[in-house]
Amino acid sequence: MGKTKDKSGPLARRPDNSAFKQQRLPAWSPMLTANTVLPFFYLLAVICMLLGVWLLLLVQSTQEIKLDYTDLGNCNECFDLRRNVSNAVQTCTCWTYCDIRPFHAHCFIFWLSPQGDVFFYYGLKNFHQNLRRYMDSRDDGQTLGRIKKLKNPSSYCAPFDKDNDGVPIAPCGAIANSMFNDSFTLNYHLSSSRIVPVPLLRTGLTWYTDKNVKFRNPRADNLTLAEVFEGTRPPLYWQKPVYSLDPHDPNNNGFINEDLIVWMREAAFPNFKKLYGILNRADPIFEKGLPKGNYTIDISYNFPVQHFQGRKGVVLTTLTWFGGQNHFLPIAYLVTSSLILLTAVVLTVAWWKFGKDGKNMKE
């Protein structure tokens, strides 16, 4: 017997005659009528409105203080000193005063809630960390602790890869070179004769992946951290080498210094704030937060802002699970709810005008 020839022609590529391939399976197609669409619009508007009101109340429950100290009070002397780059190595300190009481403050209306943690931030204005050339000016291999990269930084760091003598810089790059280096001490005036420093936790500020994955110190057996970094120089405008950034905690030095890690995570917008410390509530005086009273902030004024027409300040705030005082999402929900409700009302009026049964609709 001869072999049966394969099908050819226009029917050769025809799908099988099955319910699935011929699209004969049962399907559900919703009927979009006024009786089904309008209730959905009203329900969605109510849900968005409730979410917006809830988030707005949540955001309003956080307390926040913002203080611009760029040229405030005696900080004006430091502000003038930092105009000249040649004065970068000279130390300058100043202080500012705050009176925290319920519904009253010396410079602002503010009262920290006695319950919950208090977070201390520093902030900058008009500082663009999101420029591509600036963001690329770093060597991730170096901050990962690779010995070869320590003294042979990437060309991406240029011109901040080596100093004028040709000695490699660690950490290299524009980001590390421009690290914010003001330091703060918050003091609580318990009485006219007793001043208590407010204890701030200077660790636990970073993301877990940054602290344990992206930033590591070079490993060298039986060598101190200073000996590991021997043969390198700190960035041009640093006052301390990377291995002694935190004299109070030897485990917070080198590339795993948390101030460095926080700074190296670039901000998306030119006006930003970064975490500096968290109130240590182990002290009985600050067990419930910051008590009302008089406070001063001692500032080691190092970071210049004149060259980019910037401003700098400090922020004290309480947080919720939603974060700090960010009104964007609550307002977005309320605006969306209003638009949906307006659309529902217009559709309802149109439906009522032309007739519920469609008799008044013109074909």
CA 346 to each of CA 23, 27, 112, 333, 351: distance values in angstroms, whole numbers, following the listed order: 38, 32, 45, 20, 9
Q: Where are the domains of the chain?
A: 62-319
| Out of 106-115, 132-141, 302-311, least confident range | 106-115
Contacts of 89 (CB under 8 A, 6+ apart): 239
- pLDDT tens per residue across span 6-32: 556 666 678 888 888 888 888 887 777
Residues 243-268: what's their mean pLDDT? 93
How much is the pTM? 0.80
341 is written with which tokens?
Answer: 């409700």
* pLDDT at residue 254 greater than cutoff 90: yes
8-state DSSP, 88: T
8-state DSSP, 195: E
* pLDDT at residue 253 greater than cutoff 90: yes
Contacts of 72 (CB under 8 A, 6+ apart): 96
- pLDDT tens per residue across span 283-312: 888 888 888 888 889 999 999 999 899 999
pLDDT of residue 103: 37
Q: Where are the alpha helices (H) located in 254-296, listed in sequence order?
A: 258-264
Contacts of 64 (CB under 8 A, 6+ apart): 110, 315, 316, 317, 318, 324, 325
* pLDDT at residue 360 greater than cutoff 70: no
* pLDDT at residue 83 greater than cutoff 80: yes
3-state secondary structure of 312: strand
What order do you get walking across the sheet with 272-279 strand by strand?
A: 64-68, 311-317, 119-125, 272-279, 200-201
- Greater confidence, 127 or 113? 127
- pLDDT tens per residue across span 197-240: 999 999 999 999 999 899 999 987 788 899 999 999 999 888 88
The DSSP code sequence of 131-153 is -HHHHH---HHHHTT-HHHHSS-
Residues 315-319: what's their mean pLDDT? 87
- pLDDT tens per residue across span 96-105: 876 655 433 4
Terminal-to-terminal C-alpha distance of the chain: 66
295 is written with which tokens?
Answer: 């406070």
φ, ψ of residue 236 to 5 degrees: the values are -55, -45
pLDDT of residue 237: 82
Tokens 């050819």 identify what position?
8
- The span from the CA of 219 to the CA of 146, in Å, is 8
331 is written with which tokens?
Answer: 């307002």
- With cut-offs at 50, 70 and 90, classify the pLDDT of residue 358: low
Return mean pLDDT, the chain: 86
